[in-house]
């Protein structure tokens, strides 16, 4: 686990993403102090001239005009400080979220599948949001705690060195109090984050299994468990808030005590008991009132820092959780700076073995395979044979432990930029992701710049254009929840249309006809027949109709190649598919088995 110093250094490095907004906030806060000087001068001058000098109203024109301008100036600068500090925090949070999402994309779905989605969501949203107070409030306030008291001391010492000494001596009481409170605040904040993650995970698991809980009649029992978990989080949160309120109370006490001490000195100076501190001139009404007006503002930055100190503890706790996740984001870049995607692409695997983290046995073991450009390869085998692993390897989500994986031109795939390699790949899975958006935007996931004509051509290619024309708003019709219902076959056809639009030379398909009725299956097969022209396809399937589309069939068993050849060769007498006259397995593989395939 990172130490406090490491988390502080990490938080300081992230501040660069805030740009110039943080310096602007510091300048605005410091400039507000200059307006305070003008305000204090105007008030002290008016009182001095009216009470002791018995001046006329005409002599007070300048200070009376300066007073409202100083008020307005302080208000405007306070708004500017708050606005610029907030923009700095937003910039940092947006940059961190981009890095986290990029990191998830680099790790790939295999790594993400091993993480709890509630934990990932908590890190990307809640933990990053927990940094807002640090960059919007605490960090600018640290600098203002240096500039504002220094400016006030420079204004007070020429008038009365004793008052300046009192301010200088009592000021450190507030930071000392913050340091003592901060030790416990960080620990409580970490406990709150842990409880929040636990509550999010439990609530998400409950929602996912709600139908099962209802069927077994235990949903009410689970409601009490959810109540218990949420109560634990409430108690953790209240402990953090209690400490924050206690800290604010102590800060108010010390600052009030310090101001009272200064007021006592000035009062006894007016009574003639204290004759030191005024540089031998005596303490007049103007100087005393000017100093008393500035005194609360001397402690105010320190009090504000104390009230924001819990934001530092919260940010430290969040940083300690985020740092390990981003620790390896700066991996060495591939030697190949860029790679133009070819029109036709083949892949060669030579002695490739790979295994999943924590597994003793390899998921693929000594695979020798040449996938020719424009070829369609069907991959079959029992559950756990390594079919899905082969797709993950080809997509770059899993690295080869031994052996080499190259293009048909001899370029090692692990040396290619991952973004460039992914541009060369099209993907059609069993459960295509559909966004709650229009049909057009769902298609443009594969080709953001595609025009309407290209979208219709893709729909025609996958036998879906007629359905799209019957939609209420055509391509602009929203899909999914709250929009147009989409069947499993139509979702699969939309996924094929994306692959068509992408124009990728290598298409990977995972059981593209699984769980479809005969009519939907026939439509998908017609779309695949058109999609394969000029492209290299790797298809995971047991369906005879799909095997007939393939030039060769690869059979895997326990991660090894058990057979490789054409359908005619493998279905000959004595061969593994001898007598094949129907689909070898009409049922899709269980999701739990596929996760380890």
The pLDDT value recorded for residue 35 is 94
**Alpha-carbon dihedral 409, 412, 414, 416, rounded to 10 degrees:** -50
* Residue 333: band (very low, low, confident or very high) from pLDDT cuts 50, 70, 90: very low
Residue 552: is its pLDDT beyond 80? Answer: yes
* Residue 330: band (very low, low, confident or very high) from pLDDT cuts 50, 70, 90: very low
Asked whether the beta carbons of 501 and 461 are under 8 A apart, the reply is no
Residue 571 structure tokens: 């279905």
The pLDDT value recorded for residue 554 is 94
Mean pLDDT of 357-365: 85
Asked whether the beta carbons of 311 and 134 are under 8 A apart, the reply is yes
The pLDDT value recorded for residue 123 is 76
Percent of the chain scored above 70 by pLDDT?
Answer: 88
Exposure string over 206-226, b if 16+ CB within 10 A, otherwise e: beeeeeebeeeeeeeebeeee
**374-386+424-587: same fold as 4-326?**
no
- H or E stretch including 349? strand 347-354
- Could you give the CA distance from residue 165 to residue 451 in angstroms, rounded to a whole number? 74
Q: Are strands 552-557 and 376-380 parallel, antiparallel or unpaired?
A: parallel
Asked whether the beta carbons of 344 and 534 are under 8 A apart, the reply is yes
Residue 119: is its pLDDT beyond 70? Answer: no
The pLDDT value recorded for residue 183 is 55
- Could you give the CA distance from residue 183 to residue 164 in angstroms, rounded to a whole number? 31
Q: Which CATH code for domain 374-386+424-587?
A: 3.40.50.300
Asked whether the beta carbons of 471 and 390 are under 8 A apart, the reply is no
The pLDDT value recorded for residue 507 is 93
Residue 593: is its pLDDT beyond 50? Answer: no
> Taking Cα atoms as reference points, which of 466, 450, 437 lies closest to residue 499?
450
* Residue 555: band (very low, low, confident or very high) from pLDDT cuts 50, 70, 90: very high
> Taking Cα atoms as reference points, which of 204, 154, 146 lies closest to residue 175?
146
Q: Which CATH code for domain 4-326?
A: 1.20.1560.10
Residue 537: is its pLDDT beyond 90? Answer: yes
The pLDDT value recorded for residue 469 is 92
* Of the listed ranges 21-25, 131-135, 397-401, the one predicted with least confidence: 397-401
* Residue 331: band (very low, low, confident or very high) from pLDDT cuts 50, 70, 90: very low
Mean pLDDT of 510-537: 85
Mean pLDDT of 294-322: 82
Mean pLDDT of 269-288: 83
In this predicted model, what pLDDT tens digit does every residue of 130-157 receive, in sequence order? 899 999 999 999 999 889 999 999 999 9
Average pLDDT of the chain, as a whole number: 83
Going by the DSSP 8-state scheme, the letter that residue 587 receives in this structure is S
Q: Map out the domains of the chain as residue ranges.
A: 4-326, 374-386+424-587
Asked whether the beta carbons of 395 and 425 are under 8 A apart, the reply is yes
């Amino acid at each position: 686990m990172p130490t406090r110093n490491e988390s502080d250094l990490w938080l300081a490095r992230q501040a660069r993403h805030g740009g110039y907004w943080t310096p602007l906030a510091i300048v605005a806060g410091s400039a507000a102090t200059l307006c305070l000087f003008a305000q204090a001068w105007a008030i002290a001058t008016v009182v001095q001239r009216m009470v002791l000098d018995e001046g006329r109203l005409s002599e007070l024109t300048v200070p009376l005009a300066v007073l409202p301008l100083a008020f307005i100036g302080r208000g405007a600068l306070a708004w500017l400080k708050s606005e610029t500090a907030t923009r700095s925090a937003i910039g940092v949070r947006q940059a961190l979220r981009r890095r986290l999402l990029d990191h998830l994309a680099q790790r790939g779905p295999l790594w993400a599948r091993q993480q709890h989605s509630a934990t990932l969501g908590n890190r990307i949203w809640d933990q990053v949001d927990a940094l807002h107070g640090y960059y919007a409030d605490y960090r600018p306030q640290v600098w203002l705690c240096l500039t504002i008291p220094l400016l006030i001391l420079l204004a007070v010492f020429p008038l009365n060195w004793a008052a300046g000494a009192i301010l200088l001596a009592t000021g450190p009481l507030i930071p000392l109090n913050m340091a003592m409170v901060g030790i416990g605040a960080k620990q409580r904040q970490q406990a709150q984050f842990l409880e929040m993650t636990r509550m999010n995970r439990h609530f998400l698991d409950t929602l996912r299994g709600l139908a099962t809980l209802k069927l077994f009649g235990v949903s009410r029992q689970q409601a009490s468990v959810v109540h218990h978990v949420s109560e634990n989080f409430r108690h953790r949160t209240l402990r953090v808030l209690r400490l924050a309120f206690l800290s604010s109370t102590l800060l108010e006490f010390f600052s009030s005590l310090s101001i009272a001490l200064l007021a006592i000195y000035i009062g006894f100076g007016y009574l003639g008991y204290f004759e030191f501190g005024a540089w031998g001139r005596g303490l007049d009404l103007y100087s005393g009132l000017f100093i008393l007006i500035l005194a609360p503002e001397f402690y105010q930055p320190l009090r504000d820092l104390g009230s924001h100190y819990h934001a530092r503890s919260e940010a430290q706790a969040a940083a300690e959780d985020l740092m390990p996740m981003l620790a390896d984001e700066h991996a060495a870049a591939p030697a190949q700076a860029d790679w133009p995607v070819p029109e036709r692409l083949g892949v060669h695997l030579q002695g490739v073995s790979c295994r999943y983290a924590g597994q003793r046995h390899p998921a693929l073991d000594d695979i020798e395979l040449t996938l020719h450009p424009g070829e369609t390869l069907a991959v079959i085998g029992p559950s756990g044979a390594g079919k899905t692993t082969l797709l993950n390897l080809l997509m770059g989500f899993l690295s080869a432990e031994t052996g080499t994986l190259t293009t048909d031109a001899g370029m090692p795939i692990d040396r290619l930029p991952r973004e460039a390699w992914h541009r060369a790949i099209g993907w059609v899975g069993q459960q295509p992701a559909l966004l709650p958006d229009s049909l057009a935007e769902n298609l443009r996931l594969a080709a953001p710049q595609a025009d309407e004509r290209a979208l219709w051509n893709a729909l025609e290619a996958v036998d879906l254009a007629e359905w799209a024309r019957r939609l209420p708003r055509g391509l602009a019709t929203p899909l999914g929840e709250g929009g147009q219902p989409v069947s499993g076959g139509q979702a699969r056809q939309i996924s094929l249309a994306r692959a068509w639009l992408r124009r990728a030379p290598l298409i990977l398909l995972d059981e593209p006809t699984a769980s479809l009725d005969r009519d939907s299956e026939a439509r998908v097969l017609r779309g695949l027949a058109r999609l394969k022209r000029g492209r290299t396809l790797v298809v995971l399937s047991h369906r005879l109709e799909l095997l007939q589309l393939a030039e060769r069939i690869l059979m895997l068993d326990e991660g090894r190649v058990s057979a490789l050849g054409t359908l005619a060769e493998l279905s000959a007498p004595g061969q593994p598919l001898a007598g094949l006259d129907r689909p070898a397995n009409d049922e899709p593989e269980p999701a739990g088995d596929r996760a380890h395939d």
